[in-house]
Chain A
Amino acid sequence: DTAVSQTPKYLVTQMGNDKSIKCEQNLGHDTMYWYKQDSKKFLKIMFSYNNKELIINETVPNRFSPKSPDKAHLNLHINSLELGDSAVYFCASSPPIQETSSGNTIYFGEGSWLTVV
């Protein structure tokens, strides 16, 4: 059973479209994230949610809107897709912040490869 699963794995879409990437974790974690990996493999956090509440929002265009219906799910919706949005998007999760003995390990999904044409 995959601990952090995200769908779709591959997505090719046209500029201007709206698309969503779904993420689910079955680890019982309270905190979930979205990271973006660009064409040069550089990874950067986009959002972090703790118990369905937004706690980190890096400088991300407001075309990107995360939604957390419950603490096991964090979906990413992208409006008006642009060529520069082409990237790999990783969902991740981690244990509650007070469980610092875990070393704040963050567990990643397998990634969603988005290509905007």
Chain B
Amino acid sequence: GDSVTQMEGPVTLSEEAFLTINCTYTATGYPSLFWYVQYPGEGLQLLLKATKADDKGSNKGFEATYRKETTSFHLEKGSVQVSDSAVYFCALTTGFQKLVFGTGTRLLVSP
């Protein structure tokens, strides 16, 4: 079945450091790929998405590129802030619109 694998956290960074959170997937067909973010005590928010190979999703300084050849959708940000501390979920959907989530990666940014 479809699945998403994320790097285990927590990822601990200092403010202004470069962030990469790895995400790889296994899917039948051609999935759409997503990153969702969950801030402490809050719900899930869509951060960015990409619907086909080589698409780049971007939002709030975060970027991820849909790489079909490596089945990856790594999340990057050039300079993280304390306010970026959250849990980040990589996810995919296929034709049945069923979101399959990775296990989440907690990011902790210190001043």
Contacts and interface: CB of A to CB of B under 8 A. Distances in A.
B44 interface: yes
B89 A110 contact: no
Interface in A13-33: 31, 33
B101 interface: yes
Interface in B52-109: 87, 89, 93, 95-101, 103-104, 106
- Classify chain B's interface size: 20 to 34
A109 B97 contact: no
Interface string A36-75: 0000111111001000000110000000000000000000
Given A42-B104, A43-B89, A105 B43 contact: no
Nearest to A55: B96
B20 interface: no
A42 B104 CA distance: 7
Contact of A110 (B42, B51, B97, B98): B42
Contacts of A90: 43-44
A105 B98 contact: no
B46 A45 contact: no
A107 B44 CA distance: 8
Contact of A97 (B38, B97, B106): B97
A86 interface: no
Contact of B99 (A40, A41, A106, A111): A106
Contact of A108 (B45, B49, B96, B104): B45
Contacts of B22: none
Nearest to B105: A41
B5 interface: no
B45 to A, nearest CB: 7
A33 B94 CA distance: 15
Contacts of A110: 42-43
6 contacts: A43-B99, A56-B98, A92-B99, A103-B32, A103-B51, A106-B46
